[in-house]
Amino acid sequence: MKNAKKFSTTLLLFSLICSSGVMGQNETDAEDDSTFNLSGTVDTYFRSSFSKDPAAPNTSFADLNGFALGMANLIASYEGEKSGFVADLVFGPRGSNAVFGSVGNSSEMVNQLYVYYTIDEGVTITLGNFNTFLGYEVISPAANFNYSTSYMFSYGPFSHTGIKADFTLADDVSLMLGIFNQTDQTEANYDRYTAFGAQLGIYGQYINFLGGEDYTQIDFTGGFDLTDSFYLGINATTASLAGDTGFSGVALYPQLTASDSFAIGLRGEFFSETDGFGALVSDGDADNFSLTLTGSISSGNFMLKPELRIDTCSSEIFAISPSETSDRLSSFLVAAIYSF
């Protein structure tokens, strides 16, 4: 009941913002081209594994059993001539996983909350909380081809709170520099930890860096249109914590568009951790290779995604029954996503 009241109150707030935004827009149409927008997604799924118990891969999303909920995502944004804001709220299990670093109730629904100002042509300053710039995958299920997520995404950063500057250096060349709180701490800097980030983009290929006290991650994200209907995405990353612990991985994302309403894609990911990083094992080293085959059937704003995933690990990390573990796991899911 508490969550239902919270959700209803948030919907009412968004409705009031929409109404006031439309009224204000009508009054100032002759003065500027400012726009207000309300968008988002709703997703739900069914998942099962081919084992005695419904085990799941150790990744952040799509790891619940049977008929399960993803999240409701509401995004309000306003774009003025030089400035604007984004308020991105999430509800449900996928949303809770996305904002796990929130300490108090004040931000347990906030996926992103930031304002920005363009101080000159090609230079924009952003202040607040925003999703990470590292990696190929994102939190929104509508923006990923695969519904389940990779190990590299699941154990890397989800969001940053701080300030960043985006520079357009030339056509298809960009640079981002930022200073942030500790990764995934939404509300404030509770431990005086400061992180630094940078991203260099050249013709759709991105080199990313995140570093701070006892943590460093270097990441490459990109892809190529090999034909009009065949795309190959690429992600490679390496991260190290204090001492020798850390992880690294590489993933390829071949995707074939068969028609306006159907596409099929594969994610092949190799993920390795050292000295008990915690993604796979709590002690020692471990490797995992996973293949995820996803179909995407779309009709208007609706998408249906059937998905088969196979994980193979160097250690027996999958609980396939109350008394058995295995180094292999095969699972199947069907996800329904609606975007508006």
Q: How far apart are the first and last CA of the chain?
A: 26
Whether 319 shows a pLDDT value over 90: the answer reads no
- Answer whether 308's CB lies under 8 Å from 330's CB: yes
Ranked by mean pLDDT, the top range of 92-96, 112-116, 315-319, 323-327 is: 112-116
Mean pLDDT (the chain, rounded): 88
The band of 153, judged by pLDDT with boundaries at 50, 70 and 90, is: very high
Q: Give residue 58's pLDDT.
A: 81
| CATH superfamily of domain region 47-339 | Porin (2.40.160.10)
Whether 184 shows a pLDDT value over 80: the answer reads no
Question: Higher pLDDT residue, 320 or 299?
Answer: 299
Strand partners, 271: 249, 288
Ranked by mean pLDDT, the top range of 184-198, 220-234, 271-285 is: 220-234
Q: Give residue 147's pLDDT.
A: 97
Q: Give residue 277's pLDDT.
A: 87
Question: Higher pLDDT residue, 202 or 120?
Answer: 202
Token couple for 283: 């002690």
Rounded to whole angstroms, how far apart are CA atoms 112 and 221?
21
Token couple for 206: 């991105």
The length of the chain in residues reads 340
Whether 132 shows a pLDDT value over 60: the answer reads yes
Q: Give residue 104's pLDDT.
A: 60
Whether 236 shows a pLDDT value over 60: the answer reads yes
- Answer whether 152's CB lies under 8 Å from 292's CB: no
Quick one: average pLDDT of 37-41?
96
Q: Give residue 292's pLDDT.
A: 97
Question: Higher pLDDT residue, 58 or 59?
Answer: 59
Whether 19 shows a pLDDT value over 90: the answer reads no
The band of 207, judged by pLDDT with boundaries at 50, 70 and 90, is: very high
Q: Which of 115, 98, 218, 100 is nearest to 164 (CA)?
A: 115
List, for residues 185-195, the tens digit of each pLDDT value. Answer: 767 777 777 89
Whether 107 shows a pLDDT value over 70: the answer reads no
Q: Give residue 173's pLDDT.
A: 97
Q: Give residue 29's pLDDT.
A: 46
Residue ranges per domain, the chain?
A: 1-30, 47-339
Quick one: average pLDDT of 145-163?
95
Q: What is the pTM of this model?
A: 0.86
The band of 34, judged by pLDDT with boundaries at 50, 70 and 90, is: confident
Question: Higher pLDDT residue, 119 or 321?
Answer: 119
